[in-house]
Structure 1
Amino acid sequence: MNYNIPEDLKGLTEAEVTASRKKYGYNRLEVVKKETWIGMLISILKEPMLILLICVSLIYVVIGDYGEAVFMFVAIVGVTAISFYQDNRSKKALEELEKLNEPLSKVIRNSKVVKIPTFEIVVGDLCITEEGSLINADGKIVHSNDFSVNQSSLTGESFSVFKDSKSEDNKVYSGTITVSGLAVFVVESIGKETKVGKIGQSILGIKEEASPLQLQIRSFVKGMAIIGLVIFMAVCVFSYIKTEDFVTSLLSGLTLAMSVLPEEIPVAFTTFMALGAWKLMREGIIIKRSSIVETLGSVTVICTDKTGTITENSMQLKHLYDYQSDTIYEQEEFKIKELDELIDYAMWSCEPVPFDPMEITLHKVYEQTQDSDKRKDYQLFHEYPLEGKPPMMTHLFENEQKDRIIAAKGAPEAILNVSDLSEEEKSKVREVIKEFGEQGYRVLGVAKSHFEGNNFPVKQQDFTFKFLGLTVFYDPPKKGIKNVFQHIYDAGIKVKVITGDNADTTKAIAMQAGIINESPAINGSEIASSSEDDLMNLSENTTLFTRMFPEAKLEVVNALKAQGNVVAMLGDGVNDGPALKAAHIGVAMGNKGTEIAKSAAALVITNDDLEKLVVGIAAGRRIYANIKKAVQYIISIHIPIILTVSLPLFLGWIFPHIFTPVHVIFLELVMGPTCSIVYENEPIEKNAMKKPPRALTETFLNWRELTVSIIQGLVITGGILWMYQYSVDLGNDEAKTRALVFSTLIFANILLSLVNRSFYYSIFESFKNRNFLLMGISALVLVLLFIILYVNPVSRFFSITPLTVKELGITLLVAAISVLWFEGYKLVKRYTGKK
């Protein structure tokens, strides 16, 4: 883009940048401390499961059972390695997200305009800020063009202030917002030395709030830990009373405590969220916080801006309506002399250096149609920014001979309201406007004025304007947008269009885009004047919100939230900022979105493709469903382990210690990767985007789901304990019984991981969703089971004896019956149509 920046502004050289950075550091509010691998290792070793393992290892060392102690040490290394691998994957994924979330800033270096990460700005840099940008350092203006800034973040004053290099206050400050125009400023302070840095150090210690799902999972794990502690004490006391052997009793208690503790769940949650965000990043969806992934799957309402979100934001000038001749002209007729004045004043009403797509188009049309370009001869010396309801803007230019041009443009209603036309003449123009609007065109009114002296009116509406005509733009809906909205509707999500455009244009574009609308449009002024009850009703039942200003957009979003909706707000402009911030998920466009929109949003779509939001929602639903599958798997498989360890002891069966810590730890090593690596990789089920969104307040496991998992666990327990008694009835010794029980549990674990891939579709249907990790880990577990059973030193260590083919077949049959009955339950669900 051509910024019309003076040639003498060359910026720093690379050597000067290096010197400045060495002296003043990076443009950050705090020094970012990266977690070292030692720190990660220490935090892993603080986990309850590792503490239990260390305790068991020490007991084995004390009693001289060094073989068991070595195995426990290997188990500690194994569990630590798995946790370290998961934590490291999560950390790397989050680091990648942080890099992408780092905003870019424009600076002049070596006489070239370049984009750099904001933290790389140095003292002495020449920074460029333009309309819609967040200012990222403190400095002094050296060049500007129609520049105004909103300093409310520092001063609390909401109005914008015009500044230039000659102003009494020619400083700009980090954290403030460029409202209009452009400025080049030399950086004087960065990071903690900026005004906002000195004020804002106190907020750095504020931690991000835990999400509802995080709180529910923490509560569940805490409850299970308390149950584990109670059972540990009970088993220790009970075993000691029976055996009077303190060490054996302590080991029995620790074994049970390890079987109860569901330490896999928090690891799984962190992994699912971090890797989910990382995978979305590869799809072109940048998520600011990984916990947003969870919320994505719960979205019930999408509020979307029209321009640049539903439409291409290409703004082609399709027609010009000249009021004087009462004629509508096509593109190929723009060069005729009758349109000179209309094109002339339409261009002068724009910014001298245009940013808005419509203004860029008007400048191009001016270049292509006018015989002489007078833009260098005239200087902007007074401006009324875009304001009013509906909005308009006015620019005043002057040349060296003091000839003036006063040009205005804006919403047609706003321009008609300030024009000198009679009511009859206005009605005639409104008919033309309505006709264009119904075809989906974006219409702007253009007017001119004359004013002597410098005592300008306070408000632009106080000028006397002559109405010149209309500029008619067409901003077509994006390709494939109909399919996108169909997917959104299929997922049970409502769509609301919230735009600054008029009702006719919005209605036409909505129809072309496939948006379902069965109620009349509501405009911003109606929203502003509505009572709280009326606002609730309007926000629920209205689809098209037109002529919306920032406060009205915010009110609609808050009203939808108050009704219990989970709201995603899509926008790309400065005026979308408050609503983006207020929504559960603010979604900004990465290409054409302003920096304000991007900084306010929780999610940025890098290529402005709305279909990516559908991808994000699908990912949110997939991850949430997979977390539930992982948790239900953990509950179902923990129950047989807990009961197989405790019931023989409490019921006084012949082999009270059928499982020792060695067996429980092996099972834990199998379960950990299954729930946190395998289920994370599970594809989305084919019906997931055909269901209505879940309520955000819904617990991650309701009583029905919890009951199903408990029943699954109890049936598996029944099968395993039947195998125990069957072996005892056959007269088998403890080693053979242990081998049968252990093998049954391993087979049941593998089958459960396959069955629980879906709680609706059959196991055969699930196989169509390829998950190579699941197959790989299942195969590895089987190989390890056969090594334990048939490699003599390992068998002796696990205190088991090899099984015959027949015995192995019986264990597989019992495991299959214990697990595969659930396929019948799923068949009934499918037959009755229950989800």
Structure 2
Amino acid sequence: MPYQIPGHLKGLTDSEVAASRKQYGYNQLATVRKSSWLSLLIDIVKEPMLILLVVISLIYVIVGDYGEAAFMFAAIVAVSAISFYQDNRSKKALEALEKLNEPLSRVIRDSAVVDIPTHEIAVGDLCITEEGKIINADGRIVHSNDFSVNEASLTGESFSVFKDSRSEDNRVYSGTLTVSGLAVFEVTEVGKETRIGKIGESLLTIKAEPSPLQLQITRFVKTMAIIGIVIFLMVCLFRYYETGDFVASLLNGLTLAMSVLPEEIPVAFTTFMALGAWKLMQQGIIIKRSSIVETLGSTTVICTDKTGTITENSMQLINLYDFRTDKTYDTPSFGNPELSTLISYAMWSSEPAPFDPMEKTLHNVYEQTQPSDLRGDYRMFHEYPLEGKPPMMTHLFADARKNRIVAAKGAPEAILSVSRLSADEKERVRERIKTFAQQGYRILGVAKSLFEGDDFPKKQQDFVFEFLGLTVFYDPPKKGIKEVFQRIYDAGIAVKVITGDNADTTNAIAAQAGIVSDAPPVNGAEIINHSEEELMQLSARTTLFTRMFPEAKLAVVNALKKRGEVVAMLGDGVNDGPALKAAHIGVAMGNKGTEIAKSAAALVITNDDLEKLITGIAAGRRIYANIKKAIQYIISIHIPIILTVSLPLFLGWVFPQIFTPVHVIFLELVMGPTCSIVYENEPMERNAMQRPPRIMTDTFLNGRELMISIVQGLVITAGVLFAYQLTAQAGGSEEKTRTMVFTTLIFANILLSFANRSFYYSIFERFKGRNPLLTGITVGVLAMLFAILYVKPLSRFFDVTSLRASELAICIAVAVVSVLWFEVYKWFRRKRNTLSAHAGQAHDGSRDRL
């Protein structure tokens, strides 16, 4: 029986909405200026690489070298286009996420109830708010049903206030939370005119804190920039001291500065995070902030609810226990007249418009088994919402003749504690409860009371209740949930079940779902009595937390965080809000989640499927691994560029200026897309979800990883300079030497981009993970290289010459040796890991025999 909205509430027509919006605007604060294509372009022009290119171009113009100047201006356009493309992709991805994150609001328009984006609420609209919903505009109540609201966001008072259209204060405010019931309110203020809008406009200027990875990357780029400035000055001074030519010295210095500056890294980071979030969105995982993607891959503990996450949330009523007859009835017997009172009061204690699966089931069973349906005759006039530890709820109904129904249901322990029963009778019922719970069943106690007058008790527990019996539900584990938890365990992630259900039921369902639990369950009441140190130890060894309430959930999450765990908390109710907010990654359910849960969470799973969280964790690991690969590639390939530009100069070799800005910018144009486009598209490695999570405080490159990249760069440098000396010693001209060095470096760059797809698996193994962008860019680079070598105008411009087949073969051979030695290193690493695994198994076997 849905809430009845009075027929006189018609709402605005389309023309009235348009007129209202014209006068009062949209329901949004004056937003921070969104980046237009022009502002994106201005930001790109401010980049250090572009500034260097502009300076070099102007020098070429001043000295009259117009061909070089034209190429530099073309390079400016190319670099800007790549940056613009990447920035625009990131911007569009983030805008799509922002749009999806906007909550919907329910309004009455033209006598129909419709859901609209919150920013489209207009002054004069009739908005509907229900339990668990955030109110999204200021207004005046015109109709309500047992409506109470928490206004802590404005007043700081945590208790809820009951209001209706006749109350002295009949207004509701944007940003407050509906605690119970339903209300229809007429919107009087929207956007910045609301109370919270007037308070909160200054919040728009607050910037989000950068993540640890962002800070590390920023520090790394700044360090490289400082090194670039130092080397630039050294080269300028050294070259000027040797030649006395200021312009040539300046060009030499700027060439080297370009080769040092790792401007690709910040672009790659932003692109990877934004596109990662956008791709997850397409799979039904909505992420509020793109930096959460980075944290996802570090998750070490998943705290999950039981109902609807592990289980199907189908709540089949399979047994009824009638206390009066002391009998248990199964489904075919529900029509037995002896059960009429128990079924009726179980239904009356539910919401009149049920949204909870158990309550929907109770309404259906009532409808199917009762000879006459009295729901249309009775109206709920007083309600005690679900509360207490353990919880219960009580509803009071009356008909036109003032006949009353007082019905209560809740956790069996809560109903037993308020019922008039002897100790023996309570023990008898507890035995029944234990039997049901050990089978994984969900149990509710049902009671009735009589009450005359209107001086209602302050607490529902103060009524005198008669115990009627138990309703027994079975909510089976979801199909395939065992495999899901196995994948979580394989990824080195612990699982904690945090539920409001009792210990026996939780234990049974956890076992059926494949959750490993070696310690006894702990209930919420126990948790509150522990010290911080005790709670940290308890949270580590316990898997099942039962009869949990908001403060207890929050305490467990905080204890796990203090232990250094990276916590993902799954929740869907109003009571989950604090824990969702406190967790590193709050995860709300899109279907059954309340708006307050979705608002508190950093991530929303649209179809309530726990497997989606694994998809998100895998994506986080893939993206983090790919960022590292991109950065290691950039470090490795910058080293030979820097040393090839500087060493011939400092060592006084025969051709000191082997590369000019033209060659360096060409290499930069090759590296940029490889770093930020190709590696972003790199598929996940086979063993990514079989490794333990990374420690979140670790730097993005540890000493060993950084050393590998430096060694890779130095070996490529040795190969390139070997090609230099081989050609020069054989009497090759400056053009021939430059060509050999340039060609070897291009081939080495291509091979490095393939080799660094994995730092564990072989280059051939990674071919199984298709990356069409890498193939496309490789073909494009080779085409450009051969055009430079064999198309005369381009050869003259780049100051290179064509190569014979034997010379090309030398370049390829040198590149292969200087890059693919790394495959031997990877082979030894795999061999060592295999031997370690075998040794570990042998040790375990011998220990078992002992």
- TM-score using structure 2 length: 0.97
Give the structure 2 partner of residue 454 of structure 1. 454
Give the structure 1 partner of residue 375 of structure 2. 375
Helix, strand or coil: the match of 2:764? helix
Report which stretch shifted further, 8-17 or 72-81: 8-17
Deviation at 1:378, TM superposition (A): 2.0
Residues 714-753 of structure 1 mapped to structure 2, 5 A cutoff: 714-753=714-753
CA distance in 1, matches of 2:340, 2:137: 43
Residues 38-57 of structure 1 mapped to structure 2, 5 A cutoff: 38-57=38-57
Report which stretch shifted further, 454-463 or 117-126: 454-463
Q: Are 1:409 and 2:412 an aligned pair?
A: no
Partner amino acid, structure 2, of 1:3? Y
Report which stretch shifted further, 794-803 or 367-376: 367-376
Give the structure 1 partner of residue 821 of structure 2. 821
Give the structure 2 partner of residue 219 of structure 1. 219
Partner amino acid, structure 1, of 2:108? I
Deviation at 1:454, TM superposition (A): 2.2
Q: Are 1:500 and 2:497 an aligned pair?
A: no
Deviation at 1:390, TM superposition (A): 0.5
Give the structure 2 partner of residue 320 of structure 1. 320
Deviation at 1:462, TM superposition (A): 1.4
Would you say the 8 A contact 1:343–1:366 is kept in 2?
yes
CA distance in 2, matches of 1:63, 1:113: 73
Deviation at 1:46, TM superposition (A): 0.3
Q: Are 1:344 and 2:344 an aligned pair?
A: yes
Deviation at 1:399, TM superposition (A): 2.1
Partner amino acid, structure 1, of 2:266? P
CA distance in 2, matches of 1:308, 1:397: 30
Give the structure 1 partner of residue 688 of structure 2. 688
CA distance in 2, matches of 1:3, 1:188: 24
Residues 388-427 of structure 1 mapped to structure 2, 5 A cutoff: 388-427=388-427
CA distance in 2, matches of 1:733, 1:2: 89
Would you say the 8 A contact 1:61–1:69 is kept in 2?
yes
Residues 452-491 of structure 1 mapped to structure 2, 5 A cutoff: 452-491=452-491
CA distance in 1, matches of 2:809, 2:490: 46
Would you say the 8 A contact 2:626–2:682 is kept in 1?
yes
Deviation at 1:452, TM superposition (A): 2.4
Partner amino acid, structure 2, of 1:773? L
Deviation at 1:400, TM superposition (A): 2.5
Would you say the 8 A contact 1:181–1:351 is kept in 2?
no
Would you say the 8 A contact 2:294–2:624 is kept in 1?
yes
Would you say the 8 A contact 2:24–2:123 is kept in 1?
yes
Deviation at 1:402, TM superposition (A): 2.1
Give the structure 2 partner of residue 98 of structure 1. 98
Report which stretch shifted further, 523-532 or 159-168: 159-168
Give the structure 2 partner of residue 245 of structure 1. 245
Give the structure 2 partner of residue 21 of structure 1. 21
Give the structure 1 partner of residue 775 of structure 2. 775
Would you say the 8 A contact 1:26–1:122 is kept in 2?
yes
Helix, strand or coil: the match of 2:448? strand
CA distance in 2, matches of 1:77, 1:15: 48
Would you say the 8 A contact 1:319–1:328 is kept in 2?
yes
Give the structure 1 partner of residue 71 of structure 2. 71
Give the structure 2 partner of residue 523 of structure 1. 523
Deviation at 1:453, TM superposition (A): 2.3
CA distance in 2, matches of 1:447, 1:561: 41
CA distance in 1, matches of 2:8, 2:555: 47
Q: Are 1:812 and 2:809 an aligned pair?
A: no
CA distance in 2, matches of 1:372, 1:200: 54
Helix, strand or coil: the match of 2:17? helix
Deviation at 1:481, TM superposition (A): 1.1
CA distance in 1, matches of 2:234, 2:34: 43
Give the structure 2 partner of residue 579 of structure 1. 579
How many pairs are equivalent? 835
CA distance in 2, matches of 1:553, 1:601: 15
CA distance in 2, matches of 1:96, 1:380: 43
Helix, strand or coil: the match of 1:452? coil
Helix, strand or coil: the match of 2:588? strand
Deviation at 1:32, TM superposition (A): 5.0
Helix, strand or coil: the match of 2:165? coil
Would you say the 8 A contact 2:3–2:352 is kept in 1?
no
Partner amino acid, structure 2, of 1:196? I
Partner amino acid, structure 1, of 2:665? I
Would you say the 8 A contact 2:306–2:497 is kept in 1?
yes
CA distance in 2, matches of 1:260, 1:310: 52
CA distance in 2, matches of 1:610, 1:539: 22
CA distance in 1, matches of 2:505, 2:789: 74
CA distance in 2, matches of 1:436, 1:453: 38
Residues 613-762 of structure 1 mapped to structure 2, 5 A cutoff: 613-762=613-762
Give the structure 1 partner of residue 160 of structure 2. 160
Give the structure 2 partner of residue 172 of structure 1. 172
Helix, strand or coil: the match of 1:763? coil
CA distance in 2, matches of 1:124, 1:315: 41
CA distance in 2, matches of 1:167, 1:264: 61
Give the structure 1 partner of residue 288 of structure 2. 288
Provide, for residues 752-800 of structure 1, a one-character-per-residue CA deviation record: whole Å limited to 9, x for no partner. Answer: 0000000000000011111010011011101101001000110011111
Partner amino acid, structure 2, of 1:627? I
Give the structure 2 partner of residue 192 of structure 1. 192
Partner amino acid, structure 1, of 2:168? E
Q: Is there any run of 5+ residues in structure 1 with no aligned partner, and where?
A: none
Helix, strand or coil: the match of 1:183? strand
RMSD of Structure 2 on Structure 1 (CA): 1.1
Deviation at 1:388, TM superposition (A): 0.9
Deviation at 1:35, TM superposition (A): 1.5
Deviation at 1:195, TM superposition (A): 1.3
Report which stretch shifted further, 3-12 or 276-285: 3-12
Deviation at 1:108, TM superposition (A): 0.9
Report which stretch shifted further, 195-204 or 244-253: 195-204
Deviation at 1:2, TM superposition (A): 3.5
Give the structure 1 partner of residue 789 of structure 2. 789
Would you say the 8 A contact 1:131–1:355 is kept in 2?
no
CA distance in 2, matches of 1:373, 1:167: 33
CA distance in 1, matches of 2:204, 2:101: 18
Report which stretch shifted further, 491-500 or 475-484: 475-484
Q: Are 1:126 and 2:129 an aligned pair?
A: no
Q: Which runs of 4+ in 1 moved over 6 A?
A: none
Provide, for residues 422-463 of structure 1, a one-character-per-residue CA deviation record: whole Å limited to 9, x for no partner. Answer: 111101100111111111111000001112222222211111
Deviation at 1:3, TM superposition (A): 3.1
Give the structure 1 partner of residue 844 of structure 2. none
Partner amino acid, structure 1, of 2:674? T
**Quick one: percent identity of the two aligned structures?**
75
Would you say the 8 A contact 1:347–1:359 is kept in 2?
yes
Provide, for residues 587-641 of structure 1, a one-character-per-residue CA deviation record: whole Å limited to 9, x for no partner. Answer: 1111111111111110111111111111100000000000000000000000000
Partner amino acid, structure 2, of 1:617? I
CA distance in 2, matches of 1:324, 1:429: 11
CA distance in 2, matches of 1:787, 1:2: 73
Deviation at 1:192, TM superposition (A): 0.8
Q: Are 1:429 and 2:432 an aligned pair?
A: no
Partner amino acid, structure 2, of 1:569? M
Would you say the 8 A contact 2:31–2:204 is kept in 1?
no
CA distance in 1, matches of 2:199, 2:731: 79
Helix, strand or coil: the match of 2:375? coil
Would you say the 8 A contact 2:135–2:175 is kept in 1?
yes
Residues 551-566 of structure 1 mapped to structure 2, 5 A cutoff: 551-566=551-566
Helix, strand or coil: the match of 1:788? helix
Partner amino acid, structure 2, of 1:239? R
CA distance in 1, matches of 2:10, 2:371: 34
CA distance in 2, matches of 1:304, 1:518: 17
Partner amino acid, structure 2, of 1:673? P
Would you say the 8 A contact 2:139–2:172 is kept in 1?
yes
Deviation at 1:148, TM superposition (A): 1.5
Report which stretch shifted further, 467-476 or 813-822: 467-476
Q: Are 1:33 and 2:33 an aligned pair?
A: yes
Partner amino acid, structure 2, of 1:328? T
Report which stretch shifted further, 521-530 or 350-359: 350-359
Would you say the 8 A contact 1:181–1:353 is kept in 2?
no
